[in-house]
């Protein structure tokens, strides 16, 4: 189920992140919340991540890296996000296969 975001939030998040164009200076979620006129809470944090996900689904080149806080906007660095997402897919696929093996093993024991 797709999350319901506050009206206009993805657009404001995009405006903010587009101000940051290099990996050296990144938009932190607390900065994005402030730019959007929001208090920074766990709900705001989730809404910002959901907005970034929605924007990426539209093709916006919003860059982030595991282990480094913040986002920046760069068409030249799209391969960074691509590699991060492919890594997550591989990890999720491994988990799915392990769950399937466990389920099959338990079904055999039940017989």
C-alpha dihedral over 35, 41, 43, 44, to 10 degrees?
10
CATH of 9-110, one of 1.10.3470, 1.10.10, 3.40.50, 1.25.40: 1.10.10
Domain boundaries, the chain: 9-110
Residue 18 is classified by DSSP as T
In angstroms, what CA-CA distances link 100 with 85, 88, 96, 106? 22, 18, 6, 10
Can you point out the beta strands (E) in 22-104? 62-65, 68-73
Q: Tens place of pLDDT for every residue, the chain, 111 residues? A: 566 788 899 999 999 999 999 999 999 999 999 999 999 999 999 999 999 999 999 999 999 988 899 999 999 999 988 998 899 999 999 999 998 888 766 666 555
Closest CA to 50 of 68, 32, 65, 76: 32
Q: What is the pTM of this model?
A: 0.78
């Amino acid at each position: 189920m797709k999350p319901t975001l506050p009206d206009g939030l993805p657009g404001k998040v995009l405006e903010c992140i587009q101000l940051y164009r290099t990996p050296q200076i990144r938009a932190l979620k607390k900065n994005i919340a402030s730019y959007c006129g929001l208090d920074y809470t766990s709900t705001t944090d989730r809404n910002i991540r959901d907005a970034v996900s929605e924007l990426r689904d539209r093709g916006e080149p919003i860059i982030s890296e595991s282990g480094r806080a913040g986002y920046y906007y760069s068409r030249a660095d799209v391969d960074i996000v691509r590699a991060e997402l492919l890594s997550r897919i591989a990890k999720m696929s491994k988990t799915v296969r392990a769950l399937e093996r466990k389920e099959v093993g338990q079904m055999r024991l039940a017989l």
